[in-house]
Amino acid sequence: MATTGSMSKRATFKRDTGAVGVGGSVTRNWTDLPGLVRVPVEYKPERGRERVAAGRLEASTVVFITVQACDAIRHVTPADIIVIHDETGDLAHRIYSIENPDQRSRDYEIVAEKGVQLG
């Protein structure tokens, strides 16, 4: 379980509200999800030696994000993205899975990846 002190990053969850054109062109428009703008999160990137041991030497990095439960987080899906706000700039992450590990709805754990195409 994450503590409030360990949630040192801020994140905004976004959903694609774009459209598909007549010729098949896709327009992406990432819109903030209500109630999930600049929420505190715990952010843990996968460590380098774990990536090397797994034989994954690419630019993308798997991250583990923990967020406190609320009504809005229950509607997040892997089709959404998370934007982590940092001093160096905002960085979008693709969501792979969302879990409620203790089944008590206190925290939700999200596995995401940065450095990949968003959709």
Dump pLDDT digits (tens) for 73-115.
Answer: 989 999 999 999 988 899 999 999 999 877 777 899 999 998 7
CA dist list (Å): 55 to 20, 63, 93: 37, 17, 22
Average pLDDT along the chain: 85
In a domain, 100, yes or no: yes
- The H-or-E segment that residue 45 falls in is strand 39-45
Total domains present in the chain: 1
CA distance 98 to 12: 15
In a domain, 33, yes or no: yes
Dump pLDDT digits (tens) for 41-57.
Answer: 999 988 766 555 566 55
Domain range for 16: 4-114
The pLDDT value given to residue 110: 95
Residue 4 reports pLDDT greater than 70? no
In a domain, 43, yes or no: yes
In a domain, 95, yes or no: yes
CA distance 13 to 119: 15
CA distance 54 to 1: 27
- The H-or-E segment that residue 48 falls in is helix 48-53
High-pLDDT (> 70) share of the chain, %: 85
In a domain, 119, yes or no: no
Predicted TM-score (pTM) of this structure: 0.81
In a domain, 58, yes or no: yes
Contact 63, 41 (CB under 8 A): no
In a domain, 70, yes or no: yes
CATH code: domain of residue 65: 2.40.10.270
